[in-house]
Amino acid sequence: MKHDEQSLQERVLELSRLNESLTRQLDSQAGLQQQTSSELLLRELTDNVPALLAYVDAGQCCRFHNKAYREAFGLAADQINGHTMRELMGEEFYEFLRPKVEEVLAGYPVTYERKQRTARGGTRHYVVNYFPRYGDGAKEDEVIGFYSLGTDITELKRIDKLKSEFVSTVSHELRTPLTSIRGSLGLITGGMAGALPEAAKTLVGIAKNNCERLIRLINDILDIEKLESGHMRMELQVTDLHALLSQAIASTDGYGLSNDVHIALHCEAGAWLVEVDPDRLTQVVTNLLSNALKFSPPGGTVDVQVRHVGSGIRVEVRDQGPGIPDEFRSRIFQKFSQADSSDARQKGGTGLGLNISRAIVEKFGGTIGFDTQPGAGSTFFFELPLYEDPAALKGERLRGLPELPRSRILVCDGDRDVARLISMMLDKAGFDSDISHDVEQAFALLEAGRYDAITLDLKLPGQKRGDFINALRDNEKTRDLPVVVISALAGEGQLQFSHKPSAVMEWLTKPIDENRLVASMQRAVAELRGSKPRILHVEDDPDIQHITSAIAGDLATFEFASTLAQARACLQEKTFDLVLLDLTLGHESGWDLVEMIDALQPRPSLIVFSASEVLPPSGVRPDAMLVKASTSNTDLLNTIQRVLKLSATREAS
């Protein structure tokens, strides 16, 4: 009986051990099944992700990849896993990637764009991210590999290109006719077409105001696009903030006076220097002033306060309007934001100005904000870093203090000391000069450059009996060039040229009287200004041609070319003082004409006047660049006067 009980116990123990073994086997199989199921799920998930996924170990061997990765390289799974990046990519492609791989294996995330030719022969654009992977336990501070994520942005690139082309089309197709409309209305308002009846004046005024409103809307939309794409041009320079504010206030004050609102500038004495793009900062100031004037009550005042804040400068624009509602304050700098739609319709505006202003100020390293109280007005302000190196201002052009080009004189004298003395006197009086010591050198300089007058010694080597003066008067290019004779033989020279009284403008005897020399040069330059400069306007829109000639026809003679072929023919046949150049001429680019312009002797000045705001190609330096829809009649006239070194004669409306 005892033996049977013992045998039974042994069997129970044996069954128990078999059960435990079976349980362990079942658990193991379940674990393997679960692991296999997880791997299949991971594989299914990653293979359905439309991005290139891979894991690379510290030895730069690929250990995992998804279907998209495999298809992009056109390889089988066993041709990828276990192979190095150098083997997968090829030597040239790997050398491009190697610095980025080394950076991520050093523990730094990496992001870059790359173009990759696919196995099917096409080209795709990817944004690629590398993320370092750290080990566990004792290796938690060690990078043991990295994950690679490549996102296909080919379609985004295509859409971005279409967007840029659309913006370019809008820029040209809308800005050009609007320029004609605004220019025409401005000329009519200014009396170019004669006096208008009162009813017509009112209608023209309405049309002009709404044209300006449409231009502002288009410019704002284009500015938003340029800011978002990073293509907005910024030319930083040291700028006198006080002068910039004064100019902005002067240009905006007319709008305020029409609403019986005045602008007051409060600025302490001292240097208020900032490093900004003056045109873009003026855009910010003008926007803040326009808003303040728009919402100020009749008889009110907009105060502009400038003061130091820490190491920077703060500009405040304070109005006496109704203030900003609480519910609008959090989104005031968002695009297309307006406090009240009905009020916005009454006051006008796009809702883009403050968003653009914030982006511009932040580009300059500054900040922008506001304070407001309901019923007590609002104060918008921006702060900019103070420029603290006045010594670097030498040679810089301060906004509001434009340095006009100086008149250039050709000094012709065989005595080197006397020539140098004349040059020093002219420099002191504000003239630039070149020196020639003989006739041959003088003709070479005249052929190569442009001069406003000549000083001449009758004993200049290389001339006989005034042949040099006769040659000047027989040459179309120098026929009207003023000549001031400075010579010990001045009396004899006057007798010699008595039959040609206009050949020499003035006769001065040596030794030289500095005051008489300077006065003679000033009269000579003024006399030269009496003959109109010649402008070649390269523009395929007849309306724009007509408008520009109407604006500046009093100070210059215009000729027109609608194509590059016509422009080249004009430049080969005639001499021009200025080329006014549109950039879009059908399927041609105005930039293609610049090489010929630069090769001309003398080289005419160049003003780009186009609907497109485009950076010039490398090495191309126009004397001025104007955007049609952003340039008023007066701006165009003043720019032509400045480039041609002409005194202001009138204003265009």
pLDDT tens digits for 545-570? 888 888 887 778 888 888 999 999 88
pLDDT class for 346, splitting at 50, 70, 90? very low
Residue 390 has pLDDT above 70, yes or no: no
Q: Same domain for 304 and 383?
A: yes
Check residues 37 and 140 and name the one with the higher pLDDT. Answer: 140
Query: Is residue 554 in a domain?
Result: yes
Residue 46 has pLDDT above 50, yes or no: yes
Q: Same domain for 472 and 550?
A: no
3-state secondary structure 153-178: CHHHHHHHHHHHHHHHHHHHHHHHHH
Amino acid identity, position 364:
F
For residue 407, the number of C-alpha atoms closer than 13 Å in the C-beta half-sphere is 24
C-alpha to C-alpha distances, 645 to 101, 327, 405, 407, 448, nearest whole angstrom: 58, 54, 6, 8, 19
DSSP state of 118: -
Q: State the Cα–Cα distance between residues 285 and 249, nearest whole angstrom.
A: 9
Q: Same domain for 91 and 195?
A: no
C-alpha to C-alpha distances, 110 to 382, 439, 512, nearest whole angstrom: 35, 67, 72
pLDDT of residue 652: 47
Residue 112 structure tokens: 């870059």
pLDDT of residue 349: 55
C-beta of residue 482 within 8 angstroms of C-beta of residue 454:
yes
Q: Same domain for 385 and 251?
A: yes
Q: Residue 174: which residues within 8 A CB-CB, separation 6 or more?
A: 218, 611, 629
- Does an H or E element contain 412, and which? strand 408-412
The last residue of one of the domains, among 119, 152, 185, is 152
Q: Same domain for 543 and 638?
A: yes
Helix (H, G, I), strand (E, B) or coil at 317: strand
Q: Same domain for 107 and 54?
A: yes
pLDDT of residue 399: 43
Q: State the Cα–Cα distance between residues 406 and 522, nearest whole angstrom.
A: 12
Q: State the Cα–Cα distance between residues 198 and 122, nearest whole angstrom.
A: 67
Residues 643-649, mean pLDDT to the nearest whole number: 60
Q: Same domain for 15 and 99?
A: no
- What is the per-residue DSSP string for 325-362? -GGGGGGTTSTT--S-HHHHHHH---S-HHHHHHHHHH
Residue 634 has pLDDT above 70, yes or no: yes
The last residue of one of the domains, among 137, 152, 167, is 152
pLDDT of residue 581: 92
pLDDT of residue 118: 77
Residue 145 pairs in a beta bridge with 57, 133
Largest Cα span, the chain? 165
Q: State the Cα–Cα distance between residues 95 and 366, nearest whole angstrom.
A: 40
Q: Could you list the residue range(s) of the whole structural domain that residue 37 is in?
A: 1-44
C-beta of residue 490 within 8 angstroms of C-beta of residue 497:
no
Check residues 514 and 97 and name the one with the higher pLDDT. Answer: 97
pLDDT of residue 406: 73
Query: Is residue 402 in a domain?
Result: no
C-beta of residue 636 within 8 angstroms of C-beta of residue 556:
no
pLDDT of residue 254: 63
Query: Is residue 123 in a domain?
Result: yes
Q: Same domain for 298 and 382?
A: yes
Query: Is residue 280 in a domain?
Result: yes
pLDDT class for 607, splitting at 50, 70, 90? very high
Lowest-confidence pick of 13-27, 507-521, 532-546: 13-27
Q: Same domain for 259 and 277?
A: yes
Show the beta-strand stretches assigned E in 437-570. 453-456, 483-486, 506-508, 534-538, 557-561
Query: Is residue 231 in a domain?
Result: no
pLDDT of residue 341: 43
The angle, 0 to 180 degrees and rounded to 10, between the axes of the packed helices 439-448 and 467-474 is: 20
Q: What CATH number is given to the structural domain containing 116?
A: 3.30.450.20
pLDDT of residue 192: 72
Q: Same domain for 458 and 353?
A: no
Query: Is residue 653 in a domain?
Result: no
Query: Is residue 400 in a domain?
Result: no
Residues 384-388, mean pLDDT to the nearest whole number: 82
Q: State the Cα–Cα distance between residues 413 and 421, nearest whole angstrom.
A: 11
Residues 313-326, mean pLDDT to the nearest whole number: 87
Cα 395–chain centre separation: 21
C-alpha to C-alpha distances, 408 to 405, 441, 472, 504, nearest whole angstrom: 9, 16, 17, 18
Check residues 556 and 346 and name the one with the higher pLDDT. Answer: 556
- 300-320: burial string, b at 16+ Cβ within 10 Å, e else: bebbbbbeeeeeebbbbbbbb
Cα 287–chain centre separation: 19
Q: State the Cα–Cα distance between residues 201 and 108, nearest whole angstrom.
A: 68
Residue 352 has pLDDT above 80, yes or no: no
C-alpha to C-alpha distances, 300 to 32, 181, 248, 348, nearest whole angstrom: 82, 33, 19, 19
Give the model confidence (pLDDT) of 97-107 as tens digits: 899 999 999 99
Query: What is the total residue count of the chain?
Result: 653
What pTM, to 2 d.p., does this model score?
0.46
The last residue of one of the domains, among 528, 554, 588, is 528
pLDDT of residue 494: 65
pLDDT of residue 342: 43
DSSP state of 648: P
The candidate with the shortest Cα–Cα distance to 219, out of 338, 352, 344, 333, is: 352
Query: Is residue 61 in a domain?
Result: yes
Residue 646 has pLDDT above 70, yes or no: no
Q: Same domain for 376 and 243?
A: yes
Q: Looking at the 3D structure of the chain, how many domains does it have?
A: 6
Residue 266 pairs in a beta bridge with 305
Give the model confidence (pLDDT) of 250-298 as tens digits: 777 666 566 678 888 888 766 788 888 888 888 899 889 888 888 888 8
Q: Same domain for 514 and 564?
A: no
Q: What CATH number is given to the structural domain containing 576?
A: 3.40.50.2300
Give the model confidence (pLDDT) of 177-202 as tens digits: 877 888 888 888 777 777 888 888 88
- Does an H or E element contain 145, and which? strand 143-152
Q: How many helices (H) and strands (E) does the chain have?
A: 19, 24
pLDDT of residue 16: 57
Q: State the Cα–Cα distance between residues 208 and 210, nearest whole angstrom.
A: 6
Mean pLDDT of the chain: 79
Q: State the Cα–Cα distance between residues 484 and 507, nearest whole angstrom.
A: 6
Lowest-confidence pick of 64-68, 172-176, 388-392, 487-491: 388-392
C-beta of residue 526 within 8 angstroms of C-beta of residue 515:
no
CA angle 404, 410, 412 (to 5 degrees): 160
Q: State the Cα–Cα distance between residues 328 and 295, nearest whole angstrom.
A: 15
